[in-house]
Chain A
Amino acid sequence: MAARTFHGIGVSEGIRIAKVFIYRQPKADFNRNVPPEKIPDETKRFKAAVRGADQEISGLISHAAEQVGEKQTGILKGQKSILADPAFTPEIEKLITGQHFSAEKAVRQLTDQFVTLFSNMANPYMRERAADVRDAGNRLIRFLTDPSGKSLSDIHEKVILVADDLSASDTVQLNRNYVLGFATEKGGKTAHTSIFAKSLGIPAVVGAAGLLTNIRNGDTVILDGAKGLCIQSPDQTTIKSYQQKYESEQKQRRLYESFSHRKMALRDGGRVIAAANIGSSADIEYSLGQGAEAAGLMRTETLFLSRTNAPTEEEQFSEYRKAAEAFAIAGPGEVIIRTLDIGGDKAAGYFNIPQEANPFLGLRAIRLCLKRVDIFLTQLRAILRASAFGKIKIMFPMISGIEELRQAKTLLQQAKDELSKKGIAYDQNIQTGIMIEIPSAALMSDALAAEADFFSIGTNDLTQYTLAADRSNQSVSDVYDPFDPGVLRLIRMTAEAAKRHNIPVGMCGNMAGDPVAVPLLVGMGMDELSMAAGEIPKTKYTLSRCSRKECEKLAEKSLHCVCAREVHKAAEDFHETLFHVSNDTGAN
């Protein structure tokens, strides 16, 4: 077969050559009815799906114990007993024969009925069963729509994953030892999948159209995460040249890694903290391995997604405590926990967010938490309790003005009082800071700095809100540019306000891990850069080659630029000079 190249967006650098594993999310029509004469066939189709799903679960249970551990086995056994339950598949059959529903529609209807029933129960044990019913239903749907489709848990050898898109629940199932990289048809630079790939340090290409109609399971592909390419069935010459690139990349990687366990410092000795953005406690080990001195952003959304009820205080506490302890032992480093940053675009049903025309301008993050005080207080108590086990700071996302900060702090005080009354330990002096990601917050940073203990600039949202360019919309991706001088001036304004009030300022957006941007950011006064862990070694290496004076000069120059293109040019020219230095003295 002739080689064929698919072009997408490179979201996580690196080259990998391996066989393909195709993953398809099942697509089903949930509105179809069946003509009466077809009902026996539909019933037969449904029964075959039940048998298939049941056999698959049995197979997975025998694998699961050694592959994924006991907890997963329990979940699978729960699914098996649901499939065997007289209130489940027999009732679905009744919907097919009595109401002439298609099997997919019947499965969805009955599953939704139980999920709604269980999710609304007062008893937490019952609420958790809703997820089991949902999973059992999804498995049946997959057997109905794509019986030959494979599930992610079927991967047992080194592969490059090819998919239309990956959801948050897909990515947590990925075995990091086997998935060398991935390519998807959908997604943009800041989509969930991209952030996931970066934090794991595995190469990824997203938004590559045509993958699924052309690539087959078992094809060999080359994945080039820097250029955003996926090359199907490459010829020997191409493989050879990519193998050479792979080797020089690994050599470069080893040079960077020799810096991972040094403290991040400038050539003249000035310090900047190198921190990692983590999505859950599962990312801690990798982050520490890459040389993270702190967790500059611990996201908490994963805990709240793909489930039908909010996580309990205990559940959250155990998650936050793990992070606090791990960084305290390794560092001692701090963990900045960001309170729930979720909105109508991805919030689970239990938040009851009405349909919004513009979820990114709607009820999300701190705005949602100030409305759902029950959920917010539970999270604050869990974070406070974890603060007794390490150094934790609390960070409120999407603050647009001082009133929100004050309200959030009042609730934090309430959570503290509740714990004190019960005699539960927490860090009495816990620091509370805010994300600067809305232009109004940057413009009012002077006032905010008087009442916040620290700032962390979220460049992804700050860029999207400043330039009014949806960061997931490919058609305006040329407008969306964090190097725009408009964005830079807001960053500078924020940093100056922080300095005047003597509070630390950091950055936790994608820009903080971009080696071209890093000297510029340090020049504007960042005390901490928090990035995907895989970027830390390279960032430490880059900074070790610049002096503060050079960085400040670059920042000054950039702030006088009139467009993003000029800033890119200035930053890239500067970066280039660092590489010349590295060729003279580096690689030893």
Chain B
Amino acid sequence: MLQQEFVMRCPQGFHLRPAQVLMESISKFNSTVTLKKNGTEIETDAKSILGLMSLGLENGESVTVTVNGSDEQQAMDTVRKLFESNFGE
């Protein structure tokens, strides 16, 4: 199991497009990926667009990402790249 914290750096927050990008990139992997909004109990499956949007993550807020499964390393790398590139915004 891998765990890492990321900060959201999209001026518009985690709106539909970044959520869609994350959901689509993660759906390729077998591992389960969950996002928990720091400072809250709100947690979601990263393969759910509705769940991701329900986080209501605004610019500057942080999440803890937990990856668990056979391809967890590649999955976590993908998540890191997306957050580092600000989802291409």
Complex Cα–Cα for A118 and B52 (A) = 11
With the chains together, A294 CA to B68 CA distance in Å? Answer: 65
For chain A, the bracket of interface size reads: 10 to 19
A121 at the interface (CB under 8 A from B): yes
B15 touches A117 (CB 8 A): no
Interface pair A87/B48, CB less than 8 Å apart: yes
Q: Is A123 interfacial (CB 8 A cutoff)?
A: yes
Complex contact A82–B58 (CB within 8 A)? no
- Given contact pairs A86-B45, A86-B48, A129 touches B53 in the complex (Cβ within 8 A): yes
Cβ contacts under 8 Å, A121 to chain B: 56
List the B side residues contacting A125 at CB < 8 Å. 12, 15-16
Main SS of chain A's interface residues? helix
Chain B residues within 8 Å of A86, by CB: 45, 47-48, 51
Interface residues of B in 27-74 (CB under 8 A from A): 44-45, 47-51, 53-54, 56, 58
A88 surroundings in chain B (CB, below 8 A): 48, 50
For A129, the chain B residues whose CB sits under 8 A away are 16, 53
Interface Cβ pair total, 8 Å cutoff? 45
Q: Which residues of A contact B51 (CB under 8 A)?
A: 85-87
CB distance from B28 to the nearest CB of A (A): 15
Residue of A nearest to B44 (CB): A87
- With an 8 A cutoff between CB atoms, is A410 at the interface? no
Q: Residue A122 at the B interface, CB < 8 A?
A: yes
- Whether A126 is near chain B, meaning CB under 8 Å from some CB there, is yes
Minimum CB distance partner of A125 in chain B: B15
B12 cross-chain contacts in A, Cβ below 8 A = 123, 125
Contact with B along A122-159 (1 / 0, CB 8 A): 11011001000100000000000000000000000000
State how many angstroms separate the Cβ of A3 from the closest Cβ of chain B: 52
A129–B54 alpha-carbon span in the complex (Å): 11
Say yes or no: A126 contacts B16, CB within 8 Å.
yes
B16 surroundings in chain A (CB, below 8 A): 125-126, 129
Once bound together, how far apart are the Cα atoms of A82 and B53, in whole Å? Answer: 12
Contact, CB under 8 Å: A87 / B15: no
Q: Which residues of A contact B53 (CB under 8 A)?
A: 118, 126, 129
CA distance A121 to B16 in the complex (A): 13
By a CB distance below 8 angstroms, the chain A residues around B45 are 86-87
Query: Does A114 count as interface, using CB distance less than 8 angstroms?
Result: yes
Q: Is the CB of A87 within 8 A of B13?
A: no
- In the complex, which residue of chain A has the Cβ closest to the Cβ of B27? A86
* Residue pair B15, A114 in contact (C-beta under 8 Å): no
Contact with B13, one of A81, A85, A118, A123 (Cβ below 8 angstroms): A123
**Cα–Cα, bound, A173→B56 (Å):** 32
How many interface residues does chain B have, given as a range? 10 to 19
Please report the C-alpha to C-alpha distance between residue A86 and residue B27 in the assembled complex, in whole angstroms. 11
Shortest Cβ gap from A301 to chain B (Å): 27
Q: Is the CB of B47 within 8 A of A114?
A: no
In the bound complex, CA of A125 to CA of B12 (Å) = 9
Residues of chain A in range 51-98 having any CB-CB distance to chain B below 8 Å: 81-82, 85-88
Bitwise, A22-66 to B at CB < 8 A (1) or not (0) is 000000000000000000000000000000000000000000000
Question: A114 near B50 (CB under 8 angstroms)?
Answer: yes
B50 and A82 contact, CB distance less than 8 A: yes
Task: Assess A114 versus B49: contact at CB under 8 Å? Given A123-B13, A123-B15, A125-B15.
Answer: no
Checking A82, A117, A122, A123 against B54 with a beta-carbon cut-off of 8 angstroms, the contacting residue is A117
**Residue contact A133 to B56, C-beta cutoff 8 Å:** no
In the assembly, what is the distance between CA of A45 and CA of B48, in Å? 24
- In the bound complex, CA of A123 to CA of B44 (Å): 19
- Give the residues in chain A near B58, CB-CB below 8 Å: 122-123
Q: B15 and A85: CB pair below 8 A?
A: no
Docked CA distance A88–B16 (Å): 16
Residues of A contacting B15 in the complex (Cβ-Cβ under 8 angstroms): 123, 125-126
In this complex, which of B45, B48, B58 has the most chain A Cβ atoms within 10 angstroms of its Cβ?
B48
Closest A residue to B52 by beta carbon equals A87
Contact of A85 with B56 in the complex, beta carbons under 8 Å: no
Supplied contacts A86-B51, A123-B13, 12 more A-B pairs, CB within 8 Å: A81-B49, A85-B48, A85-B49, A86-B47, A87-B45, A114-B50, A114-B54, A123-B12, A125-B12, A125-B16, A126-B13, A126-B56
25 A-B pairs, CB-CB below 8 angstroms? A81-B49, A82-B49, A82-B50, A85-B48, A85-B49, A85-B50, A86-B45, A86-B51, A87-B48, A87-B49, A87-B50, A87-B51, A114-B54, A117-B56, A118-B53, A121-B56, A122-B13, A122-B58, A123-B12, A123-B13, A123-B58, A125-B12, A125-B15, A126-B16, A126-B53
Binding site for B on A (CB under 8 A): 81-82, 85-88, 114, 117-118, 121-123, 125-126, 129, 133
